[in-house]
Structure 1
Amino acid sequence: MSTTAVRVAVSAGSDPYSALLAGLAAADSPLHVGASVRAVDWLRGALDDPRAALDVALATGPPPGFGHVVYTEADPRAQLLLDRLLPESSPEIREAVTLLEQELTERRGWVLNIDAALALLVLQHGLPRDAGSVIFACARTVGWTAHAIEELAEPGMRFRLRGVYTGSRQAKP
């Protein structure tokens, strides 16, 4: 959604700064940039008792940090970060993350995503609870900038939506 907001803003003639603000505004949500905060809260308990967290997740739905609309097979961003975090983790954390990742993927198809990896970074390094959101937003800004540059080559106003009225028609008095 945030990338679309950037592209729409550029298409409408916004300057690059306004386009990036449009992306950030669209991303300012607990379901987007703020998702890693929810993942921190969930993962904190899940690392203490992974089997109980797994049972709850399997009964109630994907926990924060698992499942993604785009990355349905694997989230390469998460794997890259995990490859750097897990070797320095305690054996208990490695086992817990491996168990959660394998079981949730195999049993429900919920792939560990970047939000869970950022949550692990936050917990492992004692960072503020919302640090993952800040890191994600900074990284996303690079992608938004690339999309804005690409959009400059497209015809303007290409995202103009057309409304179709579906209500009843009333006769004019």
Structure 2
Amino acid sequence: MNAPASPPSPYSAAAPNAKVESHTLSVLVDNEPGVLARVVGLFSGRGYNIESLTVAEVAHAEHLSRITILTSGAPETIDQIHHQLERLVPVHQVTDLTMSMRSLERELAMVKVKGRGEHRTFALQLAEAFRARIVDATTESFIFELTGKPHKIDEFIDLMRPIGLVEVSRTGVAAISRGPDPI
């Protein structure tokens, strides 16, 4: 007996040669209970993936928060996500920062590495090369704090694996448009 087929994902619905792109969306919303649940529900209900998610209040007097979402899919899928987010009631504005080409993205990570002897020395040298700060140290481990573009943090983590990577904590992408105008 064959297992029932799972529903198609929007990623597989694209043409076989469609390029999957990663996009950073900035969503300005009312700061009220349930808004994040509605946004996340939109993604889960349609089978979209959220690679990174950050939320913070950005205008206290106006009760506005910014949700920054890193997601991926075919260009048609990204457009669909954008339009569906715009239709949600507490959403004031959706901006695809990837398309504007005038944005900055950063992420914070804390990386715990254990090691002795040469491994310890090598971990310190790599941390210096990546401008990571030591925020905690014992005789057997370090915790490094690293801020940068997500792919740079990925590179640092990959280099720490063979040395003695213990665990990683990441904030998710924070992004903002460049220049004097708001998004």
TM range (shorter): under 0.3
Pick the structure with more helix per residue. Answer: 1
- Structure with larger RCO (C-alpha < 8 A, sep 6+): 1
TM-score, normalised via structure 1 length: 0.25
